[in-house]
Each structure stands twice: as structure tokens, then as C-alpha cells.
């Protein structure tokens, strides 16, 4: 994929290195001269010094052929402006960082691929790791109305049974199963085995029942 990352901070750098390691073609747009120079010297990516809200800079970065654009500046007004500009080029995937959670709806109103608030995600993960223990990791989504839970199946009564037969709450689904390095989609006829690591999407009010069922 041809991916443009706007903003050259720590998150952008880590993301760019990860994507480059998977052989994606990466372009970073960074406004600060010194930061852009440092990135150009240390990254296996094209680095363009300029303002990501400038259409000409975006064209120099190859916006007209981009498969995805990731917008990671620390200013929401800038990010929102760039989202609107990028949409005009019909980029299929637009992902933006939300710095102020109160502005998340503004991003969603633009109908971009994803609007992510890193701080909120980290706080949610840490809070639940502290209060719920190590058997599950949680990310809250949709302003706390739903959760993504990851936990090992330890209820012996469920070993060898199909997902459709375990009486999972109606407001929850097993999306993925990690088993011996293999990833399995959680379709109804998949048989659960001891040691399976399950990724569950559930409404928050059903999460306790889900955990009780799978933990045993």
C-alpha cells in the first residue's frame, strides 16, 4: 500500500517503521524543519517538509495515488481540516488522531475510516487491567457502550463445544480465536479448545456474563 502519514511525532515514527517493515511504501509529511531532517536521516521513508493542510504539499506527497492517509498532528483543528482536504482526493482509507475526546463526533461526522483517541484507549486499557486483573484486556468503544475483551478460555465445560452451543449472551460475539500461532475467525461451528485465546466484542452490560461463562 502507498501510505501517507501527516505529522512526524513518536506515534507516527513507530507506525511508519512498522508499516515499512511490512513492505508498504511510506511518505511522512512533517512541518517542523528539524524534525523532518531527523526523520529523513533515520527512516526508510520519503520525508517531505511542509504543512499537511497545504494541497500542494499533499500532491507532492502523492495524495492522488495514496491508498491510505494517517493524520497524526496534535491539533484537532488541523487534523479536521486535513481530513476534509484528503476526502476530496477520494482516498479510500483515512485515519485520524483525536486529541480532544469532546471533538470525536466532529471527526465521525466527516465519515472517515477511523478517529482514534490514543489517550482514552490507553486509560481504558490501564483502568481495566488494574481493576479486573490479568485475565482480560479491554478497550472501550462507542463511548463505553461496548468493549473488546481478550481472554483465555478456562471453563472446562466448554472445551470441545461449538461456539453456537455455549449459550453466549446475545449481545456478544467471539470474533477471533488465537490458537498455537494460528488466527481463526469465530464462526458458529468452530470448536473451542483448552488454551484458546478469545477476542470478544460485547455490549458493556453483557461483559460480566461473558467473562463468567468463559472463565468458569
| CATH number for the domain that contains residue 79 | 3.40.50.720
Tell me: pLDDT of 118 over 90: no
Residues 37 and 79 in one domain: yes
Question: What pLDDT shows up at residue 138?
Answer: 64
User: For residue 184, what is the enclosing H or E element?
Assistant: strand 182-185
Residues 107 and 148 in one domain: no
Domain boundary among 60, 83, 116: 116
- Count of structural domains, the chain: 2
Residues 143 and 194 in one domain: yes
Residues 91 and 194 in one domain: no
Strands 25-30 and 46-49: parallel
Q: Residue 59 — very low, low, confident or very high, per pLDDT cuts 50/70/90?
A: very high
Q: Which domain holds residue 193?
A: 136-215
Residues 6+ apart with CB under 8 A from 137: 125, 128, 129, 149, 150, 151
pTM: 0.68
Residues 91 and 167 in one domain: no
User: For residue 175, what is the enclosing H or E element?
Assistant: strand 172-179
Summary count for the chain: helices (H), strands (E): 7, 11
Amino acid at each position: 500500500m502507498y501510505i501517507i502519514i501527516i505529522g512526524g511525532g513518536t506515534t507516527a515514527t513507530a507506525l511508519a517503521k512498522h508499516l515499512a517493515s511490512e513492505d508498504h511504501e511510506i511518505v511522512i509529511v512533517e512541518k517542523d524543519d528539524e524534525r523532518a531532517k531527523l526523520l529523513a536521516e533515520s527512516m526508510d521513508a520519503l520525508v517531505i517538509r511542509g504543512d499537511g493542510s497545504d494541497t500542494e504539499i499533499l500532491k507532492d506527497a502523492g495524495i492522488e495515488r495514496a491508498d491510505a492517509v494517517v493524520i497524526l498532528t496534535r491539533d484537532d483543528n488541523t487534523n479536521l481540516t486535513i481530513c476534509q482536504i484528503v476526502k476530496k482526493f477520494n482516498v479510500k482509507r483515512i485515519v485520524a488522531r483525536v486529541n480532544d475526546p469532546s471533538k470525536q463526533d466532529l471527526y465521525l461526522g466527516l465519515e472517515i475510516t477511523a478517529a482514534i483517541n490514543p489517550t482514552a484507549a490507553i486509560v481504558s486499557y490501564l483502568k481495566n487491567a488494574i481493576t479486573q486483573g490479568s485475565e482480560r484486556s479491554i478497550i472501550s468503544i462507542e463511548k463505553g457502550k461496548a468493549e473488546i475483551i481478550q481472554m483465555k478460555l478456562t471453563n472446562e465445560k466448554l472445551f470441545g463445544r461449538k461456539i453456537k452451543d455455549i449459550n453466549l449472551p446475545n449481545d456478544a460475539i467471539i470474533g477471533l480465536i488465537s490458537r498455537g500461532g494460528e488466527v481463526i475467525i469465530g464462526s458458529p461451528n468452530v470448536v473451542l479448545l483448552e488454551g484458546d485465546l478469545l477476542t470478544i466484542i460485547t455490549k458493556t452490560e453483557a461483559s460480566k456474563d461473558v467473562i463468567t461463562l468463559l472463565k468458569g
